[in-house]
Chains A and B, each alone.
Chain A
Amino acid sequence: MELLKRLFEEKGVRVDWEAYERLTAALREELEWARELRRREADWSYIESRPEPLRTALKLLVETGDLKLASKLCSIPLDELNEERIKAKIPIVVVSLKGDEAPEGA
């Protein structure tokens, strides 16, 4: 966080650091919960049945939740990968930035 503050300060960027720390703490909790949800809900036998590079793209998607990243790194069109994501039962998880409650359930 100190490195980030220094970087932004050097660039003359004004940041509400109190809000940033509060919101990112909540976001990190939610992102970890979302990763677990994707791992749990994914249809692993379907994923393992797919040819490369689709298989790797789907595994990357489970871990990162980043459809565009997986699409670019594996050179698979975004809409094609999204259709495969739905077949593989990998949810796109929309998370909260508010951290006042436990993140269990969906």
Chain B
Amino acid sequence: MFSEIKREPARSFAFALAAERRLLVVPRLEAVDALALRVLELVNADPSLPPIDPPEAYALAFAKHAGPPLLTDNASPKLASLTLEELKGVEVLDSLDVLRALYSGETLLRAVREFAEDTGVRFSARRLRELGVA
């Protein structure tokens, strides 16, 4: 995925995070590759649902392999983790999950509003109600 970051300000930001040990660049592991290919095929088997691309499939497989949560706003990896036996137990978090983990109460509502303004990311009313934010 790192190769997808082309512009200098974004690359500089990523390098700064890595220097502060807040960003981990994961190498390709043979043990993860096989599951990643399988995840790619399975998640994309239904063309009417949002697709997953190879880097995201690898991240999902790596989450299964090593245990960290996968952060993505794509709903398909979460669907896969909830329905495919071989991905059971993988924690998939979207932006709202992360904001809710960081803030609460009025601060959370303000953070959601500011996040939406800064990024152009919107949460559906159903998603907000699901986490008790609206």
Instruction: Produce 1/0 per residue, A4-26, CB < 8 A to B.
Output: 10011001011111011001100
Q: Is B7 touching A80 in the complex (CB atoms < 8 A)?
A: yes
Q: Is B7 touching A79 in the complex (CB atoms < 8 A)?
A: yes
Q: Is B127 touching A20 in the complex (CB atoms < 8 A)?
A: no
Per the bound structure, the CA–CA distance linking A62 and B84 in Å amounts to: 30
- Sorting the interface of chain A by its residue count into under 10, 10 to 19, 20 to 34 or 35 or more gives 35 or more
Residue of B nearest to A28 (CB): B48
Q: Is A79 touching B49 in the complex (CB atoms < 8 A)?
A: no
CB distance from A66 to the nearest CB of B (A): 7
Residue of B nearest to A30 (CB): B124
CB distance from B25 to the nearest CB of A (A): 17
Q: Is A57 in the interface zone, CB < 8 Å from B?
A: no
A103 / chain B contacts, CB cutoff of 8 Å: 124-126
Partner of A13, one of B48, B86, B130: B86
Q: Which 4 A-B pairs have the closest CB atoms?
A: A14-B85, A105-B125, A77-B6, A96-B127
Binding site for A on B (CB under 8 A): 4-7, 10, 42, 45-46, 48-51, 53, 73, 75, 78-79, 82-86, 94-96, 119-127, 129-130
Binding site for B on A (CB under 8 A): 4, 7-8, 11, 13-17, 19-20, 23-24, 27-28, 30-31, 33-34, 37, 65-66, 68-69, 77-80, 85-86, 89-99, 101-106
Additional 18 contacts, C-beta under 8 A, given A93-B124, A96-B130: A7-B45, A13-B42, A13-B85, A16-B83, A16-B85, A19-B83, A23-B83, A27-B79, A30-B75, A68-B4, A78-B6, A80-B7, A86-B120, A90-B120, A92-B120, A103-B126, A104-B125, A105-B124
